[in-house]
Homo-oligomer: A and B are copies of this chain.
Amino acid sequence: MNVLSIAFGAQMTFRSVHRANAQRAINLESDAEGDPLFLRSVARVMQVLNAFNDAHRPLTLSEIATAARIDRSAAQRIVHTLRKLGYIARDDDDRGYMLGLRVLDLTLDFMRLNPLVKRASPILLELRRRVSERVDLSLFDDTRVLYAMRMPSKREAFHATLPGHSVPVYCSSGGVAILARLDDEQARDIVARSDRTPFTAFTMREVEEVMQAVEETRRKGFACLTNQIMNEEVAIGVAITAHDGRPLAAIHIAGSLLEWSKEEFVANFSGLVMEAADAIGS
């Protein structure tokens, strides 16, 4: 079992892709400004839980305080309480703090209650049964799409299956399919505000390049992008909308250009993805 090489490969991919997961920082002052219902104490709690977002190892109390932009005393009390409740835990070797098991309870509750995930799950599963490519559901969140479910093909690295993983809207097939359901102004604004550091040599760089893909998606009903996030990746995305037409999410099928030409991939799968998106319905 050649563990090291696999671990290394996984780690690399992970680093390069994590960028999109950087969250908007909570700004206590500006958020609380003129909002009598905004509780600073609540925001502080979430700032502490968020402190782990840009960490790559368990944190000390001071590190948490710095990341959450509160003083050590406040951090001490909040961490103490969250620990008692199971949302923060000490490292197995008692070397630092990390998120606790109960975070996963929230994850499950999110999934269980999200109507979109509920409706999409059986259909995605059926889709996955029919094709042996990767199938996923991603949720729209401003400049990023966030993977809620991912059913990997056998050759995929593990971490890709983690819910919560996200990629920029502008260079993912599902993202572009979502942009195509917005008006040009909104779409352009999202692309413009995105961090457009390229993932590969082929990642789109210009706003207008993206808008062209959006235009094409509107005509065809699906988006098909290649080599955007990873080399040799080809993906087809179709948007899922609310009753009023707002795009909420997208489903994708992703495969490898080593196995398929773009044309073959489209010919084989675009119909299926659209059919599935339709079944999940508005």
Chain A, residues 174-195, CB within 8 Å of chain B (1/0): the string is 0000000000000000000000
Cβ of A212 within 8 Å of any chain B Cβ, yes or no, is: no
In the bound complex, residues from chain B placing their C-beta under 8 Å from that of A263 are none
Measured CA separation A163–B104 after assembly (Å): 7
Cβ of A200 within 8 Å of any chain B Cβ, yes or no, is: no
| Cβ contact within 8 Å between B107 and A104 | yes
A113 to chain B, nearest CB (A): 5
Cβ of A125 within 8 Å of any chain B Cβ, yes or no, is: yes
| Cβ contact within 8 Å between B108 and A43 | no
Cβ of A149 within 8 Å of any chain B Cβ, yes or no, is: yes
| Cβ contact within 8 Å between A111 and B154 | no
In the bound complex, residues from chain B placing their C-beta under 8 Å from that of A46 are 45, 82, 85, 87
Cβ of A31 within 8 Å of any chain B Cβ, yes or no, is: yes
How many copies of this chain does one complex carry? 2
| Cβ contact within 8 Å between A42 and B78 | yes
Cβ of A98 within 8 Å of any chain B Cβ, yes or no, is: yes
In the bound complex, residues from chain B placing their C-beta under 8 Å from that of A276 are 1
Which of chain A's residues 71-127 have a Cβ closer than 8 Å to chain B?
76-78, 80-82, 84-87, 91-93, 98-116, 121-126
Give the contact-size bracket for chain A: 35 or more
In the bound complex, residues from chain B placing their C-beta under 8 Å from that of A70 are none
Measured CA separation A148–B162 after assembly (Å): 10
Interface residues, chain A, with chain B CB atoms under 8 Å away: 1-3, 6-7, 10, 14, 18, 21, 23, 26, 31, 35, 37-39, 41-43, 45-46, 49-50, 52-53, 55-58, 76-78, 80-82, 84-87, 91-93, 98-116, 121-126, 129, 139, 141, 146, 148-149, 151, 154, 157-159, 161-165, 242-243, 248, 275-276, 279
The 4 closest A-B pairs by CB, nearest first: A108-B164, A104-B164, A42-B81, A99-B110
What would be 14 A-B contacts, judged by CB atoms less than 8 Å apart? A2-B126, A10-B121, A26-B85, A37-B77, A39-B77, A41-B42, A41-B45, A42-B82, A42-B85, A43-B81, A45-B46, A92-B116, A99-B110, A107-B164
